[in-house]
Structure 1
Amino acid sequence: MDPTPAWHTSGLGRLAWGATLIVAPRRLLRRWGHPSGLAVGTLRVLGVRHLAQAAVTLRRPVPMVLAAGAAADLLHAATALALAAVDRRQRRIALLDAAIAGGWSTLDLRAARRRRSP
């Protein structure tokens, strides 16, 4: 039996993370950041993006889709780092978010490389 492909595990994890961002943003923000209305809304929008990306990845796990997802995650990480640099109240949650986005990007890039290999 072959092990579960990395893209599949990553996609399922991303579904769970996206759902968490949509359903419980205040809980995350109370622990890691400042639960302003803007921050809650932002996490919910990010949750929707994660759900959409997971759906596309799970439906069509080809290298181009995986690489595009990795690029989106790198952009996400960069914007989170920019937020951490300018908003002291959101610094902890922004740095955590940047680390998570970097992790998703790494997983997707590795999966894209594996899908290219014979």
Structure 2
Amino acid sequence: MLDPTTPAPVWHTSGLARLAWGATLVVAPRRVLRRLGHPSRLAVGTLRVLGVRHLAQAAVTLRRPVAVVLIAGAAADLLHAASALALAAVDRRQRRIALLDSAIAGGWAVLDGWAARRPRPSPQR
């Protein structure tokens, strides 16, 4: 259990933020796309699938925040960032949202990589 007098660990804060982001992508992908890009049917479906991935990754990270899980999550985010950069390179209409998506995925990768290097507090009994 987290001690309310100390700051939450990076993995916990990042996991909760990822839950919120994933839920947003699943529930309101058109709203996100209207603000940032073109809300095509393919883009809406893609965001929903991405949202489910974020929800699953957050659940695993929050349940078992060990280094190997955090590093695997960071690797998934780096692959995501790379694929978004590739999309930006080939599709001018999706370039803006693809670059933003790549930056967001890169941010998640940095947070998970950093959290993997931070010592975990021992469980309190």
- What TM-score comes out, normalization by structure 1 length? 0.96
> Residue 4 of structure 1: SS of its match in structure 2?
coil
Aligned to 1:47: 51
Q: Which runs of 5 or more structure 2 residues have no equivalent in the other structure? A: none
Structure 1 residue 10 and structure 2 residue 14: aligned? yes
Structure 1 residue 30 and structure 2 residue 34: aligned? yes
State the Cα distance separating 1:104 from its structure 2 match: 0.3
- 1:29-87 deviation line (CA, Å, top 9, x unaligned): 11211111000000000000000000000000000000000000000000000001111
Contact 1:62 1:115 in 2 (8 A): no
For 2:86 and 2:119, the matched residues in 1 are separated by: 32
State the Cα distance separating 1:2 from its structure 2 match: 2.2
RMSD: 1.5
For 2:117 and 2:74, the matched residues in 1 are separated by: 12
State the Cα distance separating 1:28 from its structure 2 match: 1.2
For 2:119 and 2:58, the matched residues in 1 are separated by: 17
Q: 1:2 to 1:116 in 2, by over 3 A?
A: closer
State the Cα distance separating 1:117 from its structure 2 match: 9.7
The number of residues matched between the two structures is: 118
Contact 1:80 1:95 in 2 (8 A): yes
> Which one of the candidate residues 95, 111, 117 is aligned to 2:115?
111
Larger Rg: 2
Aligned to 1:100: 104
The residue type equivalent to 1:11 in the other structure is: G
Aligned to 2:88: 84
For 1:95 and 1:23, the matched residues in 2 are separated by: 22
